Every structure is written in structure tokens, then in C-alpha cells.
Structure 1
């Protein structure tokens, strides 16, 4: 069964002082493109997370976000009183000189200035990390489940379009004999007009006629097209991460359809070929999202 590259997974955990939500989103991409937004305390685990993502996702544009809601006061944040006092001692004379109101909210202004709050970097607790990492793997698993569900939808859509191409190919058959007869009649009509002006070697003419009509025959193209359609469906059923392989198969399908069109020499067959091309383009669009 195929998987989609599009998906979303989320998981949360509650620790003693905070709640952590982890979200993982993925879109289609030719390669694995990872973007991790981690709190500073978890940055040392960046490579571990990347390896876990690479081993589970294959490819895609993946965004990972860790979001922390503190349940109480953040213990590692404190006001740098010396810096605040220093800012105040410098701003107060300026305020007096400019005649600014004594009621102006100077403290609020000061607290927006650099270094008024200092954050002490806490050390990562390995027990806490164990819980967070399990939550991360849960979000990753939810993402993969989403991808599988999307893959089922994609597979049904693509299978229907492959079957449409089969149906259109079968619809070509009634016109094939008619097409050859029309070509033969047209050549004979034109030749009869020239009989009085040129001498004709009847045996050579028959040989050339056979050779020309064989060039218009599309039996081989139909056989190869059927084989490619079968292989496409088998590949979806039996293999994993087949997006690139399916793209190669669609190229082969397109080659046979194009050759049928170039040999058609019949308006109704040309219409069917155009419809087959339309179905194939829709398959290619869907395939861009297949892992």
C-alpha cells in the first residue's frame, strides 16, 4: 500500500511544572527536508530527533514544533535588579530635564530594555527527556497513521484512473480495422488516378502497402501499455516508498500512449488517446504526493 507525504501528527504530555505539545507536519518534497523548532533545553537532542524522523518518514518537507505551557512560575527566569536600577538612574535625570510627568510608566519602559530579565539555562533532566521523547514518537506515529490514511485515498483515486486508461484502450479496438481499411482505400483511390500516367509493378506495390500498413499497426503499443498498467498496480500493492518508481512507470505509460497517437491516423482514436493522456496527467499530479 502506498503512503502520502502529506500528514499531521500531534501528542502532548504533562510534567510536574509544564505541559508540552509536539506537532509534526509534512508536505511533499523530492528529498527529506527537516525543520525543527526546539526549546533551548532540548537542542542537544536535535540530532537524535532528526535520525528518528529520517528513519520513519523517508522523504518530505517536515516541520516539527515543541510548544511549552508552564503550569506555574518559570523558575529559571529572574529580574536583574542591578541592571534595572542602572537604567532607572540614567533615565530619571533625562525625564526631569525634559519635564516628563512623574506618573509616566518608566518601569514598564525599562523592563523592555535588554538584559533586564535573565534566564538561567536549566540542565536537561534525563527522566523528563524520556517522557518527552516518547511523546515525540507518539506524534510521529500519529503522523504516519495520517499518511497511511491519505495513501489509501490516493491509491483508490489512481487505481480508478488506471482502469479508465484500460477502458479507453479497449475502446480503440473497434476502430482499428476500420482505420486500416480507410487508409488502404485512400491509397488505392489516389493510385487509380495515376495509373494512366505511370507504370506500376503490382508485386512491389503490394510489398510497399504491407510495409506501410505495418508501420500503422499499434498492437505492440497496446501490449506494452497493458503490461505497464499491470506493473503500476502491482508496484502500489507490494512495495513501500514507491513514489519515484511509479513516476518512472508513468513515463513508460505516456510513451506508449504517445506512440499510439502518432500512429492513429483516425479521428476517433485520436480522441481516445487525448482522454488517456488526460487521465495520465491526473495520475502524475497525484503521484507527486506519494512517498
Structure 2
């Protein structure tokens, strides 16, 4: 199981190009990829997105790319317009100051901006970026796995607490009809009604109440959801959506249990279970 939060950095040099790639990921319901790079590298976006989506199924991943040429790969390019402008200004200054002498080619080439480093070709950039991106994703996923292991332990503890609550409700539930019968008998006695005459109607009332407050099916489904949740936690595949569905179904069963039970003590257990389920949902928001 993996978290959706992570960071990774990769750096490589190939064919005179040095590439540095950093990946940052945060939680999102779907997979999103964004590229942070200069305008001249915008063409990399579909390549970066394709590589990221091969390895990430959920979460927003921001990829930062920086490119520079190594010293042995710089090819000088002459900016002719800058060179001509510099020479023109230099001659004008020479005339203005009344100076003699020739303005050499070396002087012109040494002027700022006349010689600039050539940009590496896309053919050279792409392999370096892909390799650096792969290293960055390796580190990102490794961090997501470590974070996922911590989340897994925390969720397992929450499930243990919730299973204990299910057992508690299962213990309390059979006593609810009995207490209802006792309450009805006390009311009949306080009203000084002939209980023997009312007993058949009392039995019918208790039977209807017992059926209405029976939560056995809900507790059985909760046992099943908890067991499936535990199994999913052991999976290496993306299970975030599966766990979210199971949490939703557990919430539904606890709501039904609380509304049917008609018992103060069971209601307190249901409140605690729903609070635990809220904590589970907060953790699930960060699971791939």
C-alpha cells in the first residue's frame, strides 16, 4: 500500500546534457501531472506525463525539470546583429574621442552577448530527462511506500478498535427486547392494569419491537467489511478507492445500527464507531 505524498530527485548527464528532475506528489482523487520548466522545454510535457502515469495511478505529481549543457558540449554561436551593433557603437565612440587604432575581431567577439552557448537538441535532451525522471520517480515511490506502511499500521489499529465495538454491540443487542419488556410491565403495574389479561398483547408488542431493533444483519455485514478492509491493506496494488468504498459501506451499516437499536448504550458505541470511521476516512484521503 502506498501513500500519495512523496518527493524524489534524479540527476543524470548524457550526450553533453545534464538534467535535474524533481517530483513532488500530493493527494488527489485522480492522477494529475504538471510540468514546471522553462518555455523552451514545454515540448517535454507529453513525454513526462506518459512516464509518470506508467507508475502513478492516483495523486497530483508536479515535475520540475532543469537542463544545462556540460562544458565539453558548448558550441559557440555568434549573434551577428549584436556584433554589428557593438562594432558600430565602438567606431562611433572611437571617432567621438578622437582615438586611433583598429577594432579587432577578438574585441568584437569578446563583447557581452556576441557569443552565446547553443541550446542542446531535443534528441540529446530527451534521453537525459527520461533517465533523470526515472531516478526521481524511483525515489518518489520509495517514499510513498514508506509513508504507506505507517498509514497501514494506523488503519489496522483503527480496524481493531472498530471490531471491538462490533462485538460490544453484539453483546448488548439481545438485552434490548428484554429491557423493553420490563419497561412495559412496569408501566402496566404503575397503571394498575391486569397484566394477565394484557399478556398476549404484551408478547406481540415485544415481538414487533424485537424485530424492529434487530441489528444482526448489520453486524454481520460490518464483520465482512472489516475483514475485506484488512485484506486490502495487505495488497501492493492501488487500493485507495476500494478502501474508500468499504469505509462508506461501514458508515452506512453503523447509521442503520444506531437508528434501529433504540438503546442508549448501543447509541454511545455507534457514536464512538463513527468517530473512528472519520479518522479512517482522513487517512484514506492520502492512500493511492
TM-score, scaled to structure 1: 0.77
The Cα shift of 1:250 comes to: 0.6
The Cα shift of 1:225 comes to: 0.7
1:61 matched residue in structure 2: 60
2:239 matched residue in structure 1: 242
Cα deviation code 1:45-84 (max 9, x no counterpart):
3212211111210121111011245665965677734567
1:248–1:215 distance in 2 versus 1, CA, 3 Å: same
State the number of aligned residues. Answer: 266
Q: Find the partner of 2:208 among 197, 208, 211.
A: 211
1:284 matched residue in structure 2: 281
2:121 matched residue in structure 1: 123
1:50 matched residue in structure 2: 49
Q: Could you tell me whether the CA contact under 8 Å between 2:33 and 2:49 is conserved in 1?
A: yes
Q: Could you tell me whether the CA contact under 8 Å between 1:41 and 1:123 is conserved in 2?
A: no
The Cα shift of 1:150 comes to: 1.3
The Cα shift of 1:120 comes to: 5.5
The Cα shift of 1:243 comes to: 1.1
Structure 1: gaps of 5 or more residues: 93-110
Q: Could you tell me whether the CA contact under 8 Å between 2:20 and 2:129 is conserved in 1?
A: no
* 2:238 is aligned with 1:257: no
TM-score, scaled to structure 2: 0.78
> SS where residue 51 of structure 1 aligns?
helix
Aligned 1:189-208 pairs, distance under 5 A: 189-194=186-191, 196=193, 202-208=199-205
Q: Could you tell me whether the CA contact under 8 Å between 2:22 and 2:64 is conserved in 1?
A: yes
1:118–1:14 distance in 2 versus 1, CA, 3 Å: closer
Cα deviation code 1:114-148 (max 9, x no counterpart):
x999786442343x532332121111121111111
Q: Distance in 1 between matches of 2:223 and 2:16?
A: 63
Q: Could you tell me whether the CA contact under 8 Å between 1:6 and 1:147 is conserved in 2?
A: yes
1:152 matched residue in structure 2: 149
Aligned 1:1-291 pairs, distance under 5 A: 2-14=1-13, 19-39=18-38, 42-68=41-67, 72=71, 80-82=82-84, 121-126=119-124, 129-194=126-191, 196=193, 202-238=199-235, 240-291=237-288
The Cα shift of 1:9 comes to: 1.0
> SS where residue 217 of structure 1 aligns?
coil
Q: Distance in 2 between matches of 1:40 and 1:161?
A: 48
1:84–1:4 distance in 2 versus 1, CA, 3 Å: farther
1:285–1:270 distance in 2 versus 1, CA, 3 Å: same
Q: What RMSD over aligned residues (CA atoms) do the two structures have, in Å?
A: 3.3
Q: Could you tell me whether the CA contact under 8 Å between 1:76 and 1:122 is conserved in 2?
A: no
Q: Could you tell me whether the CA contact under 8 Å between 2:37 and 2:64 is conserved in 1?
A: yes
